[in-house]
Copies of this chain bind each other. A is one copy, B any other.
Amino acid sequence: MKYDVVGLGVSTIDLLMVVDELPGGELVQKAHATAVAGGGPVATALVALARLGGKGAMLDRLGDDLFGRMILEEFGREGVDTSGIAIAQGKSSSQASILVRRRDGARAITFAPGDSGELDAADLAVDAIRAARILHLNGRHWDASLRAARVAREAGVRISFDGGSHRFQPAHRELMPLVDICIVAHDYATAFTGAADPGKAALALVEAGPGVVAVTCGTDGSHVAARGGEQFHQIAFPVEHVVDTTGAGDAYHGAFLFALIRGYSLRDSARMASAVGALNTRALGGRAALPTFAELESYLLERS
């Protein structure tokens, strides 16, 4: 296959600053550290995959502004294919300002979606989807997502869904029966299934369609369930000094898909995903600390 994963979502530029105070009122303060980094859940999952050695392609619609150019440049540096990204002339791309409080890592995120708009379902790079092992969605560009899922289904391409970054929306019920791999945050799983317990929510999601489900619970790890009855809990690897949790969940997704594609067991895939998520919290920004495959291997070896 040409691609391991084709992702459809919204790419952003994140401007991160580590601060003493999340400013509740008028305030002038000095940042302890800053970073400019690409973001967006699907986009960062693809970069995590690429860092590990996988081949990804992003489908999105950007403005032709500074931030749009920065997004394309970063994908280029990371080896993520951008030929399926549409450019909206005279429009702005998505950006976010993220203030990270130093003492506890609490984050205040202000996002500006830009006005480049939805990717038209008619503009979807269907050939890229057909040339992928997995299509990764998170519900953005909704009409295009539904078409992409149908194209993938017809071509025998597995479909992965990230429900972690968005609040649950009833429309997602239309997509879930098409999903093969569903990795969602605890809140999302509870909203979808009605089950407060993450393990039970994972099982209930398997009933809704996906053959593989992971429900992520931050530092409480993740609950994985699969059709056929396999079910287990994966711990979150403890991190001595968390700098920034931005992108940790997205990294988990990218690594999970990479591992499944490379034929690792479900348990090994969850362990690798958890490790990549933990490693990614070591530096400011959603992507700076994403490991290579060699770094991941040596990290896991030390902990086996």
List residues of chain A with CB under 8 Å of any chain B CB.
15, 17, 19, 22-31, 33-34, 36, 66, 70, 92, 95, 97, 99, 106-113
The SS class assigned to the A binding surface is: strand
- Which of B22, B25, B28, B111 is A31 in contact with, Cβ under 8 Å? B111
Q: Are B106 and A26 in contact (CB under 8 A)?
A: yes
Give the shortest distance, in Å, between A138 (CB) and chain B (any CB): 15
Q: Are B112 and A23 in contact (CB under 8 A)?
A: no
Q: Are B22 and A23 in contact (CB under 8 A)?
A: yes
Q: Are B112 and A31 in contact (CB under 8 A)?
A: yes
Q: Are A111 and B28 in contact (CB under 8 A)?
A: yes
When distances are taken between beta carbons in the complex, the residues of chain B under 8 Å from A97 are 15, 17, 31, 97, 99
Give the shortest distance, in Å, between A160 (CB) and chain B (any CB): 23
When distances are taken between beta carbons in the complex, the residues of chain B under 8 Å from A66 are 36, 70
Q: Are A113 and B30 in contact (CB under 8 A)?
A: yes
Q: Which residue of B lies closest to A111 (CB)?
A: B30
When distances are taken between beta carbons in the complex, the residues of chain B under 8 Å from A30 are 110-113
Give the shortest distance, in Å, between A94 (CB) and chain B (any CB): 10
Q: Are A29 and B112 in contact (CB under 8 A)?
A: no
Q: 5 shortest A-B CB distances, which residue pairs?
A: A24-B24, A23-B108, A31-B112, A34-B112, A26-B106
Instruction: Give the docked Cα–Cα distance between A196 and B113 (Å).
Output: 46
Q: Which residue of B lies closest to A23 (CB)?
A: B108
Instruction: Give the docked Cα–Cα distance between A36 and B159 (Å).
Output: 37
Q: Are B22 and A109 in contact (CB under 8 A)?
A: no
Q: Which residue of B lies closest to A16 (CB)?
A: B97
Give the shortest distance, in Å, between A264 (CB) and chain B (any CB): 33
Give the shortest distance, in Å, between A54 (CB) and chain B (any CB): 28
Q: Are B112 and A26 in contact (CB under 8 A)?
A: no
Q: Are B26 and A23 in contact (CB under 8 A)?
A: no
Interface centre among A29, A36, A66, A108 (most CB of B within 10 A): A108
Q: Which residue of B lies closest to A70 (CB)?
A: B66
Interface centre among A19, A26, A110 (most CB of B within 10 A): A110
Instruction: Give the docked Cα–Cα distance between A92 and B35 (Å).
Output: 11
Q: Are A25 and B106 in contact (CB under 8 A)?
A: yes
Instruction: Give the docked Cα–Cα distance between A112 and B28 (Å).
Output: 11
Instruction: Give the docked Cα–Cα distance between A109 and B165 (Å).
Output: 27
Instruction: Give the docked Cα–Cα distance between A38 and B120 (Å).
Output: 35
When distances are taken between beta carbons in the complex, the residues of chain B under 8 Å from A31 are 97, 110-112
Further contacts, 6 of them, CB under 8 A, given A22-B24, A30-B110: A22-B27, A23-B24, A27-B109, A31-B97, A34-B112, A36-B66
Q: Which residue of B lies closest to A92 (CB)?
A: B34
